[in-house]
Amino acid sequence: MSTADLIDRAGGIRKGEEIDLVRLKEYLEPVLGPAAQQLQVKQFPGGHSNLTYLLSSDDQQWVMRRPPFGSKVKSAHDMSREYRVLSALKNVYSYGPVPEHFCDDHSIIGCDFYLMNYIEGLVIRREYPTELGLSKDQIRQQLFNFFDVLSELHSVDLVEAGLDTFGRPEGYVRRQVEGWCRRWRDSATPDTVNVDNTMQWLNDNMPPESGKASVIHNDYKLDNVIFNADDPLKVIGVLDWEMATVGDPLMDLGCTLGYWVQTSDPDFFRESRTMPSDIDGAPTRSEIIQRFQEKTGLSVENFPFYFCFGLFRLCVIGQQIYYRYYHGHTKDERFAGFLKKAFVLQQMCELIIKGEVTD
């Protein structure tokens, strides 16, 4: 198998997530010219939140982003915010897709949406593509490179990017804790896990602000990153900017490490992993923190807090997704599994609170 066979491909559109192609073609003709009339639409397979479609016309391709159907959490699916962030970053951070058009006319497909350029490459999902044939050392370097690109984002000059007034970095940690606790309460269902202990612990153990305000992605994970098909150690794109803001970069690191399962973790946590971070050669969370400190100059203290917050935040996001399924807002059967995921994440939070997991 060649690396070309591993490129992330769009396919059929999931039931209930179809797009009115006739209306879309009419709207996009002034934007795309004659190419609009030949548009074909496919859907990328990943993602449980904002939906991503591939628009193609002959040899031209674009990506369209829209909010999920039936979402209760409108602030988490703000297309105009995502478009603004990418527009600001395009000249100072080479990994973001280039936004090309924004539409807020809901008569077209029923919601805001935007178009951006298509970045073709490899996306690593739950299972590591062993067909790449990388050695342990190469895998280690690839995954360090993944974190280095996050460090680069945290080093973007806010003034140069025009994002110095974007977001509210002061008090960011407290607002995040309080906000995600509120989101949990708003999306709880009768059959879900009790997270009261975790919410209380996070409120009681908030560290001081790091003193650094950065652009933060807020959902930086392996399947939101594109690697070069010809040089799979190299990151060429970062996707899914729907929750990006300006805030404390240590919280962003904690969110990413909430996904990071390693070989020393309990079996129940490893079995629930969503990316292959426990593959032979992968750096541990401690090694990642050390490298992050070297790259950014920031000191990562109180790591258990950031890690627990990252896990709890994922628990809430999963519950929000499950809420849509529970109430019949989506028929996507993948969403049913998020109930079990919430129990697993809460279990891991409890181990951190007890001091049984420290890095």
pLDDT digits (tens, 9 = 90+) for 305-321: 999 999 999 999 999 98
Question: What pLDDT band is residue 73 in, cutting at 50, 70 and 90?
Answer: very low
Statement: residue 1 has pLDDT above 70: no
- Give residue for tokens 């959490």: 73
Statement: residue 5 has pLDDT above 70: no
Domains of the chain: 3-117 (3.30.200.20), 130-353 (3.90.1200.10)
The DSSP annotation for 49-79 comes to SSEEEEEEETTEEEEEEEPPTT-S-GGGG-H
List all residues 6 or more positions away from 210 whose beta carbon is below 8 Å from its beta carbon: 248, 249, 250, 298, 299
Average pLDDT of span 179-204: 96
**Count of alpha carbons within 13 angstroms of residue 265, beta-carbon side:** 26
pTM above 0.85, yes or no: yes
Q: For the ranges 22-26, 47-51, 78-82, which has the lowest average pLDDT?
A: 47-51
Statement: residue 223 has pLDDT above 80: yes
Rg, Å, the chain Cα set: 20
Q: Tell me the per-residue pLDDT of 108-140, one tens digit each, with 9 for 90 and over.
A: 999 999 999 999 999 999 999 989 999 999 999
The DSSP annotation for 221-245 comes to -GGGEEE-SSSTTSEEEE---TT-E
b/e 49-71 (16+ beta carbons within 10 angstroms → b): bbbbbbbbbeeeebbbbbbbbeb
Question: What pLDDT band is residue 60 in, cutting at 50, 70 and 90?
Answer: very high
| Nearest of 106, 86, 88 to residue 96 by alpha carbon | 86
Average pLDDT of span 35-60: 88
b/e 328-341 (16+ beta carbons within 10 angstroms → b): ebbebeebeebbeb
3-state secondary structure of 119: coil
Task: Extract the runs of DSSP E, i.e. beta strands, from 163-251.
Answer: 214-216, 225-227, 235-238, 245-247
List all residues 6 or more positions away from 190 whose beta carbon is below 8 Å from its beta carbon: none
Rounded Cα distance between 285 and 143, Å, is 11
Statement: residue 48 has pLDDT above 70: no
- Give residue for tokens 């491909």: 9
**Strand-pair partners of 246:** 215
Question: 108: left (phi > 0), else alpha (psi -120 to 50), else beta?
Answer: alpha
* Mean pLDDT of the residues in the chain: 92
